Amino acid sequence: MTAGKSRAWWVAGGAVVCGGAVWALLQFGVPVFLSDQNHPARPALEASSWIAGIASLLVALVALIVALRQGGSSTPAATHGGIVFTGNVTGGSGSGPTTGVHVEHPPDPPSPARPQP
């Protein structure tokens, strides 16, 4: 599965979950313990929301640190702003597997692709 399809499934799943939550809220209304200041479940709900908020901040901080540490890659494309090709090259002067070819400036497109003056 490609990254685009995986992301589409996550977005679709989130839309279904959020739509279900909105439907339940409209169908059944707000639960009593959310609006009642003296309900015995309210302190536990507030405590769990604080714990979830702090835990989410910690997860976001760890994700940021990991992303920053992985961002310091030593690939030629990351250090010089070029293009790295990986795969097979066909046609031209040769064909076969190619790995790590670094092109600082991409070549000009063939004649038919150039705009006509």
Residue 17, in any domain of the structure: yes
Number of domains in the chain: 1
What's the pLDDT score for residue 41? Answer: 83
Q: Which of 37, 35, 34, 56 is nearest to 45 (CA)?
A: 34
Structural element, H or E, at residue 65: helix 42-71
Euclidean distance between CA atoms 73 and 69, whole angstroms: 8
In this predicted model, which residue has the larger pLDDT, 58 or 88? 58
CB 7 within 8 A of CB 15: no
Domain span at residue 3 reads 1-30
84: in domain: no
Quick check: is 44 in a domain?
no
Q: Is 16 among the domain residues?
A: yes
pLDDT at position 58 is 97
Better-scored residue on pLDDT, 15 or 26: 15
Tell me, yes or no, whether 26 lies in a domain. Answer: yes
For 33-72, how does the pLDDT look when each residue is reduced to its tens digit (9 = 90+)? 777 888 888 888 889 999 999 999 999 999 999 989 887 5
pTM confidence score: 0.39
Mean pLDDT of the chain: 76
